[in-house]
Amino acid sequence: MATITPPMVPMPLTAFSEEEQMFRDAVRAFAEEEVRPLVLRMDRDGEIERSLIPKFFELGLMGMEVPEELGGAGARFITIVLAVEELSRVDPSVGVFVDVQNTLVNNAILRWGTDDLKARYLPRLARDLVGAYALSEAGSGSDAFSLSARAVRDGDDWVLDGRKMWTTNGAEAGVYIVFANVEPGSGYRGITAFMVEREFPGFAVGKKEDKLGIRASSTTELILEGCRVPADNVLGQVGQGYRVAIETLNEGRIGIGAQMVGLAQGALDATMRYVRERQQFGRPVAEFQGVQFQIAEMATRLEAARLLVYNAARLKDAGLPFVVPAAMAKLFASEEAEAIASRCIDLHGGYGFTREYPVEKYYRDAKIGTIYEGTSNMQLQTIAKLLLR
């Protein structure tokens, strides 16, 4: 059994229940013992170790907010944040795998699904079914609602045609939330969300992207060619898909903030170990004031990012407005994760530029944080627009 090394910067605990703290500690131990030995291989091979996925379900990581009567843990949203942070401290690819399942897929079904959809999908998503969320297309990134995917009603089915891009968990998923436009002339008012199973006729998973970072996390194309989806599999109301997308992504941003906080903590932990061990001019690098000041600044900025993320999650749990705090958390955490990972490479010197030490991977993984689930510019726009309203 591997020795568990706790984060070197203490995490605030007072706002969490004893059960939440115990769960966080269990996730931390799992990440250290089960995930860390596989990180380099998964990064090299560009895929998640399949034997880990059943363990995610066994540990209760894949259905945290799902009600107990539907097979989940019935936990608060903050529990997802803690789990994603701890997993991402070891491997952000694993962190986002769990994050998407909870903050996007399960969350959307809980909020928008009929009783039938909840009964059909949530127990499986908590037990053994991986989900994915497919909004983006080649021509619609930040302009998320300029969708070219179309849906036409045909009897008791909808028939979907189009292609989706950048679908996280696309290679492993068995069910997908897919957005298509049922009335293109109405613009975003025609967008509708559909629950699409991998086995539905006319559906296929296409190309898997070869990425700079979070390489073990699959990012795929989805191909819809006359894909028949039962009318009962509409998520929310026809023409209300834009609301499903917007309101789900608000919570998803908190999850990405947690991923970035965990990533930055992992990079900082590795760097503090290194500067204690690395000798220059006859003493550890950690004894030089210039290094100490950089460590102190990074730890302070990381703690600020963590508290922004926790605050947004607590507001969500309390049923209070959290859109601006979520955007702030995602913006600040992703920007700081990239900056901290870069500084950690600097403190490793030439070794930081090699794959012999973990900080180069954290640096590669950090770059996506300012891009997906809303770029930094989109977060700034959201914050400013709502503050000035």
End-to-end Cα distance, the chain: 54
Catalytic choice (86, 221, 338, 373): 373
Tokens 């049923």, residue? 319
Q: Verify whether residue 65 is a known catalytic residue.
A: no
* Contact present, 71 and 343 (Cβ < 8 Å): no
**Phi and psi (nearest 5°) for 176?**
-135, 140
- Report the distance separating Cα 303 and Cα 337, nearest Å: 11
Q: What does DSSP assign to residue 321?
A: -
Say how many C-beta atoms besides its own lie within 10 A of residue 389's C-beta.
Answer: 5
The alpha carbon dihedral of 67, 69, 72, 75 has a sign of positive
- Report the distance separating Cα 171 and Cα 47, nearest Å: 9
**Phi and psi (nearest 5°) for 216?**
-75, -20
Tokens 């529990």, residue? 79
Q: Where are the beta strands (DSSP E) in 198-289?
A: 203-208, 219-230, 234-235, 279-280, 283-284
Catalytic residue positions, numbered: 373
